[in-house]
Amino acid sequence: MSKIVTFGEIMLRISPEDGYRLFTDGRARLCYGGSEANVAALCAQLGVDAAFVTRLPDNAAGDGAVRHLRQLSVDVSGIVRGGDRLGVYYYEKGAGVRPAQCVYDRKGSSFACSSYEDYDVDGMFSHADHFHLSGITPALSGKMPDICLRLIREAKERGLTVSYDLNHRTKLWNACENRSVTETLLPYTDVFIANMYQCNEVLNLGVDTSSEERACIAVCREIMKRYGTKTVALTVRKTFSADRNGFYGMTFDKENALFSRKYETGIVDRVGSGDAFDAAFISSVIKGYDLQTAVEYGAAAAVLKHSIEGDVAYLTEDEIKNAANGGDGRVSR
């Protein structure tokens, strides 16, 4: 069986109940989340061996994160323990015209303060076929871009396929900072995934987006040309309101642009929907499905994630396939 390794931060997420604003109520929902952890979690559920590598504090908060990952069948043997704290983020869902609000409290986390030497590179890549990380990880500290670059190189040297999701977070760094780092990583990246508009802006591609579908194609072509990336997948989100979004994905198979079904969906919790796209797209590639299937499954998983509370896409391949095939939310009984 194939095995994917992902690398990044997992945090404790603290959210008020739906409709309450942050810090105005005495009750909270807790869950764990982080882009690369979420990717590993869905890959594991879709039947791909998945390991998540991070650094966690050696306390009850770190133990909880490990239990969370274990429950999801994620291999935690590469997780190192040390440092001061588990990163936290406070998340208030949006509704109507009120956008979701995210207060990061991840500074000084065990992961953000980690060094390349903390990780057992041989161990983490043994038996692995695929390495994945996202643009959040290099943004977390001054050392992280170098750690990411060295890990990606090590992965490539060992013959792994590397995937990278641009995942730009304006609260962590600006487009310019991101671009300079991403451009060092892209030469080693086999599969590059990004939100189309964000990608155009962060990588300064200069594509005219007045026609959205054409822009998708142009962005793909430009990335493949500039960086020699083999596989590029893009996602497009339309925010009708904080509780209603449109979503679709696209990729490029040699000369053909492949678009997924276009969805419009209500929102229970949109956090982690991009990660669900990554996991379903990459799992499909790992399993040898064709790219049309990969982008359909990616988009379906992303849209399904909008209906699920918390960071993790608890989904089976059957559920993803049904949604991709036009499932409409009918009760099965």
Catalytic residue among 49, 129, 165, 275: 275
Residue 331 is a binding residue for a copy of itself (CB under 8 A): yes
Q: Is 197 helix (H, G, I), strand (E, B) or coil?
A: helix
Q: Which of 10, 11, 14, 294 forms a contact with a copy of itself (CB under 8 A)?
A: 14
Residue 129 annotated in active site: no
Between helix 291-305 and helix 317-324 the angle, nearest 10°, is 100
What is the sign, positive or negative, of the torsion defined by CA atoms of 258, 261, 267, 272?
negative
Q: What are phi and psi of 299, to 5 degrees?
A: -65, -40
Tokens of 307: 């209906």
- Residue number with CB closer to a copy of itself (87 or 145): 87
Do residues 268 and 34 touch, judged by C-beta distance below 8 A? no
DSSP assignment, residue 109? -
- The stretch near a copy of itself (CB under 8 A) out of 124-132, 181-189, 200-208, 236-244 is 236-244
- Residue number with CB closer to a copy of itself (214 or 238): 238
Q: Which of 170, 174, 180, 204 forms a contact with a copy of itself (CB under 8 A)?
A: 170
- The stretch near a copy of itself (CB under 8 A) out of 120-128, 227-235, 248-256, 267-275 is 267-275
Residue 292 is a binding residue for a copy of itself (CB under 8 A): no
Do residues 25 and 90 touch, judged by C-beta distance below 8 A? no
Do residues 6 and 39 touch, judged by C-beta distance below 8 A? yes
Smallest separation, CB 248 to a copy of itself (Å): 13
**Distance from C-alpha of 290 to C-alpha of 252, rounded to nearest angstrom:** 11
Element (H, E) at 303: helix 291-305
Residue 175 is a binding residue for a copy of itself (CB under 8 A): no
Residue 31 is a binding residue for a copy of itself (CB under 8 A): yes
- The stretch near a copy of itself (CB under 8 A) out of 46-54, 97-105, 193-201, 217-225 is 97-105
Residue 112 is a binding residue for a copy of itself (CB under 8 A): no
* Binding pattern for the stretch 299-328 against a copy of itself, x by CB under 8 A and - elsewhere: -x--xx-xxxxx---x----x--xx---xx
Residue 209 is a binding residue for a copy of itself (CB under 8 A): no
**Distance from C-alpha of 330 to C-alpha of 333, rounded to nearest angstrom:** 9
73 exposure class (CB count in 10 Å sphere: 0-12, 13-18, 19+): middle
* Binding pattern for the stretch 66-95 against a copy of itself, x by CB under 8 A and - elsewhere: -xx-xxxx----------xxx-x-x-x-xx
Residue 108 is a binding residue for a copy of itself (CB under 8 A): yes
Residue 40 is a binding residue for a copy of itself (CB under 8 A): no
Q: Which of 265, 283, 284, 293 forms a contact with a copy of itself (CB under 8 A)?
A: 265
Residue 196 is a binding residue for a copy of itself (CB under 8 A): no
Do residues 302 and 295 touch, judged by C-beta distance below 8 A? no
Residue 130 is a binding residue for a copy of itself (CB under 8 A): no
* Rg (alpha carbons) of the chain, rounded to whole number: 19
Closest by CA to 9, choosing from 36, 32, 31, is: 36
- Residue number with CB closer to a copy of itself (223 or 315): 315
Provide the annotated active-site residues. 275
